[in-house]
Amino acid sequence: MACSSRLVPRQVDRRRWKFSALGLALSLGLASCRAERDNSERAVSGPASAAATKLPSPPGSAAVAASAVPHTAGTRLILLGTKGGPRVGPPGTPTSTSTLILVNGVPYIIDCGYGTSSQLVGAKVALNTVRHVFVTHHHSDHMIELGPLVYNGWATGLRTQVDVYGPPGTAKMITDFLAYMQLDIQTRMADEGRPDLRKLVVSRDLAEPGMVFQNPDVKVTAARVPHPPIEQAYAYRFETKDASIVISGDTTYAPKLAEFAKDADVLVHEVMHLGGIEKLLKRVPNPAALREHLIASHTVPEDVGKIAAAARVKTLVLSHLVPGDDPSITDDMWTQGVAKHFTGRIIVGKDLMEVSLPPH
Q: Is the pLDDT of residue 40 over 60?
A: no
Q: Is the pLDDT of residue 86 over 70?
A: yes
The arithmetic mean of pLDDT across residues 202-230, rounded, is: 97
First to last CA, the chain: 56
Q: Domain range holding 195?
A: 69-355
Query: Residue 227 forms beta bridges with which residues?
Result: 230
The arithmetic mean of pLDDT across residues 288-312, rounded, is: 96
Residue 142 located in a structural domain = yes
Strands (E), the chain: 63-65, 75-81, 98-103, 106-110, 132-134, 162-166, 201-205, 210-214, 218-224, 234-240, 244-247, 266-272, 315-322, 345-348, 353-355
359 — pLDDT class (breaks 50, 70, 90): confident
- Single pTM value for the model: 0.81
β-strands 132-134, 162-166 pairing: parallel
Residue 311 located in a structural domain = yes
Any idea which of 53-67, 182-196, 223-237, 260-274 has the lowest mean pLDDT?
53-67
What's the pLDDT score for residue 35?
40
Residue 26 located in a structural domain = no
β-strands 244-247, 266-272 pairing: parallel
**Rounded-to-integer distance, Cα 76 and Cα 69, Å:** 9
What's the pLDDT score for residue 360?
72
User: Using CA of residue 331, residue 334, residue 340, residue 342, what is the dihedral sign?
Assistant: negative
**What separation in angstroms does the CA of 329 have from each of 79, 119, 273, 346?**
19, 23, 8, 16
Q: Is the pLDDT of residue 324 over 80?
A: yes
β-strands 201-205, 210-214 pairing: unpaired
20 — pLDDT class (breaks 50, 70, 90): very low
Do residues 185 and 196 touch, judged by C-beta distance below 8 A?
yes
Q: Is the pLDDT of residue 84 over 80?
A: yes
Q: Is the pLDDT of residue 36 over 50?
A: no
The arithmetic mean of pLDDT across residues 40-58, rounded, is: 32
**28-32, 53-57, 91-95, 351-355 — most confident range:** 351-355
The arithmetic mean of pLDDT across residues 245-268, rounded, is: 98
Do residues 132 and 157 touch, judged by C-beta distance below 8 A?
no
**Rounded-to-integer distance, Cα 26 and Cα 360, Å:** 60
Q: What is the number of domains present in the chain?
A: 1
Q: Is the pLDDT of residue 9 over 70?
A: no
Q: Is the pLDDT of residue 206 over 50?
A: yes
Residue 63 located in a structural domain = no
HEC sequence for 11-62: CCCHHHCCCCHHHHHHHHHHHHHHHHHHHHHHHHHCCCCCCCCCCCCCCCCC
41 — pLDDT class (breaks 50, 70, 90): very low
pLDDT tens, residue by residue, 121-166: 999 999 999 999 999 999 999 999 999 999 999 999 999 999 999 9
Do residues 80 and 99 touch, judged by C-beta distance below 8 A?
yes
Residue 34 located in a structural domain = no
What's the pLDDT score for residue 277?
92
Residue 51 located in a structural domain = no
**Rounded-to-integer distance, Cα 290 and Cα 296, Å:** 10
Which residues make Cβ contacts (< 8 Å) with residue 344, sequence separation at least 6? Answer: 308, 309, 313, 314, 315, 316
β-strands 132-134, 106-110 pairing: parallel
The arithmetic mean of pLDDT across residues 242-257, rounded, is: 98
Residue 56 located in a structural domain = no
**What separation in angstroms does the CA of 234 have from each of 52, 171, 175, 289?**
34, 16, 22, 24
- CATH number, domain of 140, equals 3.60.15.10
CA nearest neighbour of 325 among 131, 21, 32, 94: 94
71 — pLDDT class (breaks 50, 70, 90): low
Who has greater pLDDT, 151 or 359?
151
What's the pLDDT score for residue 47?
29
Residue 92 located in a structural domain = yes
pLDDT tens, residue by residue, 108-129: 999 999 999 999 999 999 999 9
What's the pLDDT score for residue 42?
32
The arithmetic mean of pLDDT across residues 282-301, rounded, is: 93
Question: What string of DSSP letters covers 128-139?
Answer: GG--EEE-----
